[in-house]
Chain A
Amino acid sequence: MADSTRPADSPGAAGVSAEVRRRCLAAADGTISDEGFAALQDALRHDPAAVEYYLRASRMTHVLEEIAAERATDAVSPAPLTKTVAGSPRRRVAGWAALAGATLLAIPLAFFLWHDGEPAGEGAGIAAAASAGDGPEETVVGHATLRRAVDVVWAKGAPSYRGGALLPAGPVAFDAGLVEIDFFCGATVVVEGPAALTIDSDWAARVMRGRLRADVPPAARGFTVRTAETEVLDLGTAFALDVSPDGTFAEVLDGEVELRSSSGEAAETRLTTGQSRWLGEGTAPAGGGSWPGAADLEAKRVSETRRRFGEWKAAAAQRAGDAGLLAYYPIAAGGFDRVLPNEAAADGPPAAAGDGALVGMVAAVDGRFGAESAGLSFERPGSRVRTVLDGEFPALSLSCWVRIDGLDRRYNALFMADGYENGEPHWQIRDDGRLMFSVMVDDSAVVEHFSELEGRVVRDAGLHRIYLTPPIWDLSKSGRWFHLASVYDPAAGRVRQYVDGELVADETIQEKFLVESLRIGPAEIGNWGQPFRQSPAFALRNLNGVIDELAVYRSPLSGDDVRRLYDAGKPSDH
C-alpha cells in the first residue's frame, strides 16, 4: 500500500515495513485476519521496532476509543456540557463506579457523607448523597469563550449566548452586532454580523458568512478558518476575511497565511502582510471600511454598558416608590460604605428601618454594569449584610441579580431570615445548582417524609417545605449575571420562581404547608445568621459570588412584573 502522498516516515516507524505497520494497526482495532495476526506475532517476536510500533498503534486506538465514548456520553447529556480533559476521561471514572459497588469505595464515602451533614437546620437530614462528591471530577466542555458581545441580535433557530459563555462545537449565528471569540488555542476572532460560523475545535472554525478579524499569537499558529472556497491557515499573526455567498476576500494584516483551496486540488498560496486575495465569482466587492477589531468592540461595549446603566438608574429611582416594596437595595448605584440604605419609600417601614449593615469581609466589587457600578461579594466565609424587616405580610416576593463564581457550600445563601422560625423564608441555592425557596410552617415539629427528588425518606427538623427549581447553574455559567425571583403567594396557593424573567418552577402550596402570615425579622443577605446556636461554630452558607439589586416585596409579583424587573436591570451582554 505504498502511497507517495503519504507524510514522510515517522521516527517510530523506521525499519518497520508498511505491511507490518498495517498489521499492527489492524490488530489494535481487532480487524486483522487470523493469518495476518499469526504473521504479526512472528514479527513481534523478532523485531523490537515492530513491538514499539504496535504499542503506539494500540495506544492511539485506545485514545480514539476514549474520545468516541466521551462524545457519545456528551450527546446523551445535553446540559451541563461536560467533557473530560486529557488524562482523565470519564470512562475510567465509570469503571471506578463499578468497582465501588464491589467493596472498595464504600467505607470512606459513607464516612464522608456522614460528616458532611450540617448541624440543625433544614436539610439536616436531606440526602447527602444527592450531590456530594460522588461523581467524576468536574470538567466543562467547550472550544472557545464568547468574551464580549455587543448589540448582538442572535439568528432565529441558532443558540444565543451571553458574554463569558463557553462555546461548544457547533454554530454561532447572529444577524447584527459584534462578538469576540477567544479560541482555546489562543487565537482571538472578532466577528461582525450578519454572520454565521461553526466552531469545529480549539483550532478551527468554518465561516459561511460574515466579516472577521483573527489575531493569532505564536502559540496559536496553525489556527485555521475554512470557507466554502478556501482554507486559511494562519502562520502568524493577523488576518481578516469577508465571507459572502459570492466568495471569500482574504487579507493579511500582519504576518503570513497559507490559503488552500477547499477541493484540495489547487496548490497552496501564501500571502504576507498587506496582500489580499479574492476567491469567488466575478470581481471582489469594494472594500468597505475597516475590519472589525477588539478596540471598536470594547468602545462599543463601554458606551452600551453606560447607556444601560443610565437607564437602569432612572428605573431604579422610580421603583423605590413601588407599592408593596418592603426593602430595596439597588447596590449597583453605589454610594454606600458600611451601611446599605433601604431605598424603599412608599408604604415601607419608617426611615432607616431595614437598612443593611455590612459585616465582616463583605466587599463592594464591580457590579453588573462594569467598573462604574457596584455589587456585593460574599466570597469570604464571614461575609454578610444584616438587616431587620419587621411586620407580618400576606405574601412575599424576592428578586435579585447574582453572579455565582462557585457553589462552594451545600447551601449558598441569597436572603435568609435568621434562625428558621414560623413563617420565615429562606432563599438560597443548593450545590447542585437548584434555586430553593422555603418557608417554616411549624418549627416545633420533627417530620419524616418521602422525598421524590431524593428518592428516599428524609427527616427534617421542623415542618417546612422547600420549593426547588430544576438546576439553573453549573460551573460553565460561573462569572455570568442572572436575575432570580421567587414569589410566595398564599392567596393563589402557588410558589413561582423565575430566572432571567422566565418562569422555571411553578408549584402548588399544599394545605399543610400553607403559611398565610409571613415574617422576616432579623435577616441576612448573602449568608445565614444563627443567633440561637449553642456553639461558636456556624454553618457556612456564604455565597461565593456577587449580589446586586435585592428587592423584597410584601405582595406577590406577577410574571410580567418579574419580566419588567429583568428587562430594566439586564446588563449589556444579555
Chain B
Amino acid sequence: MSSPRPSRDRQYDLFVSLLTHNEPALRRFVRSLLPGGEGLDDVMQNVALECWHKFSDFVADGQDPQTDFRRWAFVVARFKTLSYLRDAKRRRLVFDADVIARLAAAAEAAEDASRDERAAVETCLASMAEESRRLLLSVHSAGDSVARIAAESGEKARRLYARLERLRTDLLSCVENRLAGRASNG
C-alpha cells in the first residue's frame, strides 16, 4: 500500500466521496422530476456516469466542496433527466422543460431543509395504525396491493383508494408540522 497511487485514483476517491455524500439529494431531486418515479434508477445511473466523465470540469470554488458539487451535479441531473424524457416518448406524465426549470430551482433551494424529512415520515408513519401504514405502503410494495387488502378485508377497493388519498394528505401534514416544530400527537 506504500506505492504512490496515480492521481486518477485520488480523483476517483474524491469523486466517490462527493457523489456518495450527495447521492440521496440527487435521487430525491431526480425523483421529483419523474412523476410516478419510473426510470429513476436508469436516470441515476446516467447521472453518475456523466458526473464521472465530466468530473475534470468540476471546480470547487466556494467554501464547501460538498455544496459546490451538489449544485454542479444538480445541473447534470437536470439535463440527463430532460434527455431521458425526450427519448421516452411514450411516457404519459412528462413535465414541460420550463416547469422542470422551476422545479429544479426550488428543489435546490429546499434541499438543506429536506434532510430530516425521512425521519419525520418514519415518525409520522409510526404514529399511525398498522392498517393505515400497510395501506400507505401497499401501493409501493411488490408483495402487496390495494386489491389484495380489499380481498382480505372485504372492503371495497374504491373506498380504500379514497382512504389512501386522505391518509397521504394527512401524512404530509404531519411531516410538515413536525418539520415546522409544531409537532402534534395527531
State the A residues within 8 Å of B (CB): 1, 3, 6-13, 21-22, 25-32, 34, 37, 41, 44-45, 48, 51-52, 54-69, 71-72, 75, 86-88, 92, 95-96, 98-99, 102, 104-105, 107-108, 115, 200-204, 222, 224, 233
A10 pairs with B173, CB closer than 8 A: yes
B90 CB to closest chain A CB, in angstroms?
Answer: 13
Interface residues of B in 88-122 (CB under 8 A from A): 92-93, 95-96, 98-99, 102-103, 106-107, 110, 114, 117-119, 121-122
Other-chain contact of A11, B20, B98, B136, B180 (Cβ < 8 Å): B180
B103 pairs with A56, CB closer than 8 A: no
A63 pairs with B121, CB closer than 8 A: yes
CB of B41 within 8 A of chain A? yes
B93 pairs with A30, CB closer than 8 A: yes
Q: Name the residue in B20, B142, B172 with the highest tally of chain A Cβ atoms < 10 Å from its Cβ.
A: B172
> Taking CB as reference atom, which chain B residue is nearest A76?
B143
CB of B35 within 8 A of chain A? yes
Q: Interface segment, B21-29, B58-66, B78-86, B152-160?
A: B21-29
Interface residues of B in 1-22 (CB under 8 A from A): 1, 9, 12-13, 16, 20
Other-chain contact of B35, A8, A22, A30 (Cβ < 8 Å): A30
B40 CB to closest chain A CB, in angstroms?
Answer: 9
B117 pairs with A63, CB closer than 8 A: yes
Other-chain contact of B103, A34, A55, A200, A204 (Cβ < 8 Å): A55
A107 pairs with B93, CB closer than 8 A: no
B174 pairs with A7, CB closer than 8 A: yes
* 22 chain-A/chain-B pairs, Cβ below 8 angstroms: A12-B176, A12-B180, A25-B168, A28-B35, A30-B35, A30-B36, A44-B95, A45-B102, A51-B102, A59-B28, A59-B114, A60-B171, A60-B175, A62-B28, A68-B141, A72-B143, A87-B118, A95-B41, A96-B23, A98-B45, A104-B12, A203-B123
Residues of A within 8 Å of B137, CB to CB, are: 64, 67-68, 71
CB of B44 within 8 A of chain A? yes
Q: Is the interface of A mostly helix, strand, loop or mixed?
A: helix
Q: How many chain B residues have a CB neighbour from A under 8 Å?
A: 68
Other-chain contact of B169, A22, A41, A75, A115 (Cβ < 8 Å): A22
B118 pairs with A86, CB closer than 8 A: yes
B126 pairs with A203, CB closer than 8 A: yes
Other-chain contact of A60, B119, B142, B172 (Cβ < 8 Å): B172
A34 to B118, CA, bound (A): 29
A92 to B22, CA, bound (A): 12
Other-chain contact of A7, B122, B130, B139, B173 (Cβ < 8 Å): B173
What number of A-B contacts does a CB cutoff of 8 Å give? 182
Residues of B within 8 Å of A8, CB to CB, are: 173
A58 pairs with B176, CB closer than 8 A: no
B45 pairs with A60, CB closer than 8 A: no
Q: Do A86 and B130 contact each other (CB < 8 Å), given the known contacts A55-B110, A59-B28, A62-B28?
A: no
Residues of B within 8 Å of A60, CB to CB, are: 117, 121, 168, 171-172, 175
Residues of A within 8 Å of B136, CB to CB, are: 64
A59 pairs with B126, CB closer than 8 A: no
Q: Do A62 and B31 contact each other (CB < 8 Å), given the known contacts A56-B175, A203-B127?
A: yes
B176 pairs with A61, CB closer than 8 A: no
B92 pairs with A107, CB closer than 8 A: no
A86 pairs with B185, CB closer than 8 A: no
B23 pairs with A92, CB closer than 8 A: yes
B176 pairs with A13, CB closer than 8 A: yes
CB of B52 within 8 A of chain A? yes
Residues of A within 8 Å of B52, CB to CB, are: 104
B95 pairs with A41, CB closer than 8 A: yes
B127 pairs with A68, CB closer than 8 A: no
A92 to B141, CA, bound (A): 17
Q: Do A30 and B122 contact each other (CB < 8 Å), given the known contacts A55-B106, A68-B140, A69-B140?
A: no
Other-chain contact of A71, B31, B141, B169, B186 (Cβ < 8 Å): B141
A64 pairs with B1, CB closer than 8 A: no
B41 pairs with A72, CB closer than 8 A: no
Other A-B pairs beyond A22-B169, A59-B117, A104-B52, 5, CB < 8 Å: A58-B32, A60-B168, A68-B137, A92-B27, A99-B45
B172 pairs with A86, CB closer than 8 A: no
Residues of B within 8 Å of A107, CB to CB, are: 9, 12
CB of B166 within 8 A of chain A? yes
A6 to B167, CA, bound (A): 10
B99 pairs with A44, CB closer than 8 A: yes
Residues of A within 8 Å of B37, CB to CB, are: 29-30, 61-62, 65
B130 CB to closest chain A CB, in angstroms?
Answer: 6
A445 to B28, CA, bound (A): 56
A104 to B119, CA, bound (A): 31
> Taking CB as reference atom, which chain A residue is nearest B95?
A41
Q: Please give me the 10 A-B residue pairs with the lowest Cβ-Cβ distance, nearest first.
A: A30-B36, A10-B176, A68-B140, A58-B32, A201-B126, A10-B173, A68-B141, A63-B121, A68-B137, A62-B31
